[in-house]
Amino acid sequence: MPDGPNGPVMPEITDILGDEIIERAGEINAWKSPEFKRAIAATGRKKIIMAGIVTDVCLMFPAISAVAEGYDVYAVVDASGTWNNTVMQAAMHRMSQAGVKVATWSSVLAEIMDDWRSEHGMELGEILAQHTTYRWVYNSYLSATNQK
């Protein structure tokens, strides 16, 4: 709702994800927006990887609603914002109790990749190394194989 209290989508988001925006009428729970649900249904998929600006509202409400309608939802909590640790913990517990699979971006990435032998295995390692403590393992491998 660009004219409401949230304002337009932040340019930092559209710079990365593109500017195809689902305009909602004002529903706080995105799942209550017919446009949002149509966009999800149009993918033809029942598995959803979801994140939100804030974990306890933008992520939690539609994730729980989607699970209630038979979707398999992965809520990526470290790709979602939060006010503090208590808020994140409460949201994670509530989502888990409702059947949402609470996950992190790196575990989702690794699950999608599935096998280090993939043609993108080294790229996965590099991404994980750039953003997590996995860099110690990755750098050790590069040193051992003289790839540094």
Which residues are tagged catalytic? Answer: 58
Q: Which two tokens stand for residue 109?
A: 């990435």
What is the spatial distance between Cα 43 and Cα 50, in angstroms, rounded to a whole number?
14
What is the spatial distance between Cα 79 and Cα 100, in angstroms, rounded to a whole number?
15
Q: Could you tell me the CA-to-CA distances from 127 to 35, 101, 141 in Å, in that order?
A: 33, 23, 14
